Amino acid sequence: MTGRDDTPGMIAYTNARLIDPASGLDARGAVLTEGETIVEAQPGLFENGVPQNVKNVDCLGACLAPGLVDIRMHTGEPGEEHKETLATAGRAAVAGGVTTMVCLPNTEPVIDDMSTVEFVARRARKHGLAKVYCYGAITRGLAGKQITEMAMLAEAGAVAFTDGIKALVDAQIMSRALSYASTFDLLIVQHAEEPSLTVDGVMNAGETATRLGLAGIPVEAEVIMVERDIRLADMTGGRIHFAHISTAPAIEVIRQARARGVKVTCDTAPPYFALNELAIGDYRTFAKLAPPLRAESDRQAVVAGLVDGTIDVVASDHLPQDEEAKRLPFSEAAFGGTGLETLLPVTLELVHNGHLDLLTALGLITSKPAKLLGLRAGRLESGAPADLMIFNPDKGWKVTDDKLHSKSKNSPFDGRPVQGQVLRTVIDGRSVFELGDKP
């Protein structure tokens, strides 16, 4: 690939396979951008050559798609910069083809007022890498007691509301939050886990946990919370979204609720359709996630949920941890795994394994998450932001810490061979990553 575009002007991306899940486009063609905006994206464009006043980037037959939209990631900034900063998360994001990401409110201070929302947006703009939006907290200080001023937070830029990696446990508070949110058509996002069933639990409950002598987290912890909140959403008319769904029973409950018209959506993350509890092996802490890796039957149910559309979106669930937090006995190690740079290749396993076609798989990480949160992203169309990803869906590589740009290296896919490599990432018409850029 030639023609690095350091300053945005009129740029033609030619000799590409255009992939746009939003419109169903999958054809040879080209994209023309000017400044921060897409001018045209269509088959046959520049078949007779590129005008002299337009810079040409020859994609050499690679795929060109909208940049990825990741709706669930955690950054340590503000408060835990030793794990990740907006700058290091931004570098990891663009290396993985992610041009838009939405960060959780579990920071220090918590994103529960307008000043913190504005701080995150301001810091992200300064770095000029992936565009960063944020969730607002449902409750002040994530304490689960007092609802935040969600309408004001939305005006400041919060795209939806969640207590992040903490479940909102109190049914009365959740009911009030859903009712309040429905007035302004805001989305409530829940970490579906009944905490009283997870006390001291560190992995999926079952035979493997028993064999390893580890306390288990039952699948019922997830489905009980899903069933409760679906009933509350039905009662209030609010919109509920469940994050990182991982169990067969929860998926079936969501499937049935959607069939009867409840306003419910959900996402999952790559570990839950690509790994199962056996990845823990001999107490491998990089595979200690929340929710935990489940049984093979649950993994297969997640795949089925993606195939039939019950699961709307795939998110990275990027949760970086420093080395000291993971280099501990399994029961003491922190939960979480990095995921920005493996979002694309592991999602493409759904294609390589014959479960989904390329357009559908990419839709899970581009147009669908953008539509869910009302983001101006995830499309190849005239007037859209020039946020692009050029990639080879078949190129193999191995996930190792020296390949990752994230400040923390705790990937559950560490050592895994994958297919799908980002060649170039473009944000607002600027080339911000090219293969070969060092971590």
CATH of the domain at 401: 2.30.40.10
Among 373, 398, 415, where does a domain finish? Answer: 373
In a domain, 378, yes or no: no
Helices (H), 265-373: 270-274, 296-308, 323-326, 343-352, 358-363, 367-373
Residues 76 and 37 placed together within one structural domain of the fold: no
pLDDT at residue 9 in the model: 86
Q: Is pLDDT above 90 for 369?
A: yes
Residue 93 sits in a domain whose CATH number is: 3.20.20.140
Separation in Å, CA 251 to CA 123, 202, 230, 437: 37, 22, 12, 40
At 425, is the secondary structure helix, strand, or coil? strand
Mean pLDDT of the chain: 95
Q: How far apart are CA 101 and CA 68, in angstroms?
A: 8
28's tokens: 């040879």
Among 351, 373, 395, where does a domain finish? Answer: 373
In a domain, 3, yes or no: no
Which structural domain range is residue 346 located in? Answer: 67-373
Residues 228 and 322 placed together within one structural domain of the fold: yes
163's tokens: 């207590």
Residues 59 and 73 placed together within one structural domain of the fold: no
Separation in Å, CA 84 to CA 77, 92, 93, 326: 7, 10, 12, 15
In a domain, 401, yes or no: yes
Residues 306 and 345 placed together within one structural domain of the fold: yes
Q: How many Cα atoms within 13 Å fall on the side-chain side of residue 286?
A: 18
Q: Which residues pair with 389 in a beta bridge?
A: 65, 425
In a domain, 246, yes or no: yes
The residue among 46, 116, 27, 26 whose CA lies nearest residue 75 is: 116
Residues 138 and 84 placed together within one structural domain of the fold: yes
Residues 159 and 26 placed together within one structural domain of the fold: no
Residues 298 and 269 placed together within one structural domain of the fold: yes
Q: How far apart are CA 417 and CA 410, in angstroms?
A: 16
Residues 32 and 86 placed together within one structural domain of the fold: no
Q: Is pLDDT above 70 for 15?
A: yes
Residues 29 and 161 placed together within one structural domain of the fold: no
pLDDT at residue 6 in the model: 55
pLDDT at residue 7 in the model: 56
In a domain, 15, yes or no: yes
Residues 55 and 114 placed together within one structural domain of the fold: no
When pLDDT is averaged across residues 384-412 and rounded to a whole number, the result is: 96
- Name the band, by pLDDT with cuts 50, 70 and 90, for residue 3: very low
pLDDT at residue 4 in the model: 46
Among 373, 399, 421, where does a domain finish? Answer: 373
Residues 47 and 83 placed together within one structural domain of the fold: no
Residues 153 and 131 placed together within one structural domain of the fold: yes
pLDDT at residue 77 in the model: 84
In a domain, 177, yes or no: yes
In a domain, 1, yes or no: no
Query: Number of folded domains in the chain?
Result: 2
In a domain, 4, yes or no: no
Residues with catalytic function: 317
Kind and range of the H or E run holding 64: strand 63-66
Taking the CA atoms of the chain, what radius of gyration do you get in angstroms? Answer: 21
Quick: pLDDT tens for 185-238.
999 999 999 999 999 999 999 999 999 999 999 999 999 999 999 999 999 999
